[in-house]
C-alpha cells in the first residue's frame, strides 16, 4: 500500500471504531479503546485528527456526507420548491425505517449529550452540521415558488425549519410517539412549511 492508502485505511478504521464507541459511551468514550478497536495507537488519532474532539467532528461529517449525497439524487433539478420538499420529506421518512435507523438515532442523541458536556465540542459540531446543510440550502435555492424563485436566504430559513420538524418526528417514529406519521404525513407537513409565506418570502436584507 502507498503511504496515502495507508493513511486513508487508518482514518477509516478510526472513524468506524469511533462510531461504535461514541454511540455507546458518549462523552465517556475513551480514546484508548477507539484506537485499540482500530488496531492503532492514540498517536494515530492525534496525527490524523488532532484531538479526540477532532475525531468526533470528523465522525459527524463522515456520517452526514452520504446522507446529503443521497438527497441530491432523490431531489432532481427541474422540480419546483413544493415538489422538491415533497421528495425530500418522503426520502427522510423512508430513512426512519432503514436497518441502521436506531444506530443513527443513538448517535444523534449521544452527540447532543456530548455537546452539553463540552461546549467547545458543541460549537465545532454545530459548525460541521451547518457546513453539510449548505448542500440542502443549495438544493432548494433557485427553485420556482409562487411565481418567483427561492433565494439562498429563504432556502436557509426553510432548511432550518425542516430540520427541526424532521428530527423531532423521526425521533418519535421508532418509539411509537408519532402515530400516523407515515410518508404522506411527512410530505404534507413539509409542504405546509414551504407554503408559509412568512417563512419563504421574508428577507430582512431585502430592499
Residue 198 has pLDDT above 70, yes or no: no
Q: What is the pLDDT of residue 76?
A: 92
Q: How much of the chain, in percent, has pLDDT values that exceed 90? A: 55
Rounded to whole angstroms, the Cα distance separating 194 from 155 reads 9
Instruction: Look up residue 14 and give its three cell numbers.
Output: 478510526
- Tell me which residue has cell 420538499: 85
The predicted pLDDT at position 23 comes to 85
CA angle 67/70/76 to nearest 5° reads: 140
Residue from 106, 111, 71 nearest 89 by CA: 71
pLDDT tens digits, 32-75 = 999 999 999 999 999 999 999 999 999 988 888 887 888 888 99
Q: Is the pLDDT of residue 149 over 50?
A: yes
Cα–chain center distance at 66: 9
What pLDDT score does 65 carry?
82
Q: What is the pTM of this model?
A: 0.80
Query: CA end-to-end span of the chain, whole Å?
Result: 58
- pLDDT band of residue 85 (cuts 50, 70, 90) is very high
Calculate mean pLDDT across residues 82-96: 93
Please choose, from the candidates 169, 109, 152, 159, the residue with its C-alpha nearest in 3D space to the C-alpha of residue 136: 159
Q: Which of 49 and 25 is assigned the larger pLDDT?
A: 49
Burial letters 86-108, b for 16+ CB under 10 A, else e: bbbbbbbbebbeeeeeeebbebb
Task: Using alpha carbons, list the distances in angstroms from residue 140 to 1, 46, 144.
Answer: 42, 38, 9
Amino acid at each position: 500500500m502507498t503511504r496515502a492508502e495507508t493513511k486513508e485505511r487508518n482514518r477509516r478504521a478510526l472513524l468506524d471504531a469511533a462510531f461504535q464507541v461514541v454511540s455507546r459511551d458518549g462523552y465517556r468514550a475513551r480514546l484508548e479503546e477507539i484506537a485499540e478497536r482500530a488496531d492503532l495507537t492514540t498517536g494515530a488519532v492525534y496525527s490524523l485528527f488532532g484531538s479526540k474532539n477532532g475525531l468526533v467532528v470528523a465522525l459527524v461529517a463522515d456520517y452526514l456526507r452520504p446522507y446529503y449525497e443521497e438527497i441530491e439524487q432523490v431531489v432532481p433539478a427541474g422540480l419546483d420548491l413544493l415538489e422538491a420538499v415533497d421528495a425530500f420529506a418522503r426520502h427522510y421518512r423512508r430513512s426512519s425505517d432503514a436497518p441502521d435507523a436506531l444506530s443513527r438515532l443513538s448517535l444523534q442523541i449521544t452527540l447532543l449529550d456530548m455537546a452539553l458536556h463540552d461546549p467547545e465540542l458543541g460549537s465545532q459540531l454545530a459548525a460541521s452540521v451547518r457546513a453539510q446543510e449548505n448542500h440542502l440550502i443549495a438544493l432548494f435555492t433557485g427553485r420556482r415558488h409562487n411565481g418567483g424563485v427561492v433565494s439562498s436566504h429563504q432556502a436557509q430559513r426553510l432548511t432550518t425549519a425542516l430540520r427541526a420538524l424532521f428530527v423531532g418526528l423521526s425521533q418519535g417514529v421508532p418509539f411509537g410517539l408519532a402515530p400516523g406519521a407515515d410518508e404522506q404525513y411527512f410530505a404534507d407537513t413539509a409542504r405546509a412549511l414551504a407554503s408559509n409565506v412568512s417563512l419563504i418570502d421574508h428577507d430582512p436584507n431585502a430592499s
